[in-house]
A and B are shown apart, each in its own frame.
Chain A
């Protein structure tokens, strides 16, 4: 049973650039949530996708956008990168209506 997968593992970008992170949910799951975790902090909710629509959004600017595909996989896009966007980006998968969320290994983004 495949767990949640994310790519890439690590990424280094320059200020002002754009980045795309990818996530495939656990087999049988249909909902994907994205979180940002700064060093020493708990994860912060970015947004959640179900049926290819953004269902909930956290307190993040419009530079953060996403997409969900018919196979339930998802992308997180961040435009105009700031130094402060450096963090671990986590994808969590779940079944719609069930609160338990399972995290992928994360993508470590460094903005220089």
Chain B
């Protein structure tokens, strides 16, 4: 059974700080890795995808992948109250296996 694990949180950070979200996965043959943001009562929104080891940056977001450690993370720099949401880690290929999500709260 393929598994994706995330700390459920809540993770609370002050405005302007760096938020660090972590995810581990069990299936070594996983090839694609995604971070989705889900606001309360809304559907998940794709914010980052990463396919190879290392870092990928997009604006204030950086995804990091370490396939040897089966670990993927998301850093959010200069966190804003509007970043408060649940962040879902998902692993592919094909059908996506999701973690349970980490709730992030950014305090003004």
Q: For the complex, is B100 an interface residue (Cβ under 8 Å from A)?
A: yes
A43 contact set on B, CB distance < 8 A: 44, 88, 96, 98
| Total residues of chain A contacting the partner, CB 8 A | 23
Among A33, A41, A100, A106, point to the contact of B34 (Cβ < 8 A): A100
| Interchain CB contact (< 8 A) of A42 among B31, B92, B94, B100 | B100
* Among B31, B49, B88, B98: residue with most chain A CB under 10 A: B98
Which of chain A's residues have a CB closer than 8 A to the CB of B31?
99
A103/B95 in contact, CB under 8 A: no
The total of Cβ contacts below 8 Å across the A-B interface reads: 57
How far is the CB of A40 from the nearest CB of chain B, in Å? 7
**Cβ-neighbour of A41 out of B42, B43, B95, B100 (below 8 A):** B100
Binary interface encoding of chain A residues 38-80 relative to chain B, with 1 for a CB under 8 A from any of its CBs, else 0:
0011111100100000011010000000000000000000000
Bound form: Cα–Cα A105–B100 in Å: 19
A42→B99 contact, CB < 8 A: yes
Contacts of B4 in A (CB 8 A): 42
B43 lies within 8 A of A106 (CB): yes
A32 CB-CB contact with B under 8 Å: no
A105-B43, A106-B43 are contacts. A42–B95 as well, Cβ < 8 Å? no
Q: Is the CB of A101 within 8 A of B43?
A: no
**Which chain B residues lie closer than 8 Å to A106 at the CB level?**
43
A25 lies within 8 A of chain B by Cβ: no
Nearest residue (CB) in B for A4 is B43
CA of A41 to CA of B92 in the docked complex: distance in angstroms? Answer: 18
**A105-B98 in contact (CB<8A):** no
Q: A42-B101, A43-B98, A48-B94 are in contact. Are A90 and B46 (CB under 8 A)?
A: no
Interface pair B43/A104, CB less than 8 Å apart: yes
Q: B19-58 toward A: CB 8 Å interface, digit per residue (1/0)?
A: 0000000000001101010000011111001000000000
Which A residues fall within an 8 A CB radius of B?
33, 35, 40-45, 48, 55-56, 58, 88, 90, 92, 99-106
Residues in chain B within 8 A of chain A (CB atoms): 4, 31-32, 34, 36, 42-46, 49, 88, 90, 92-101
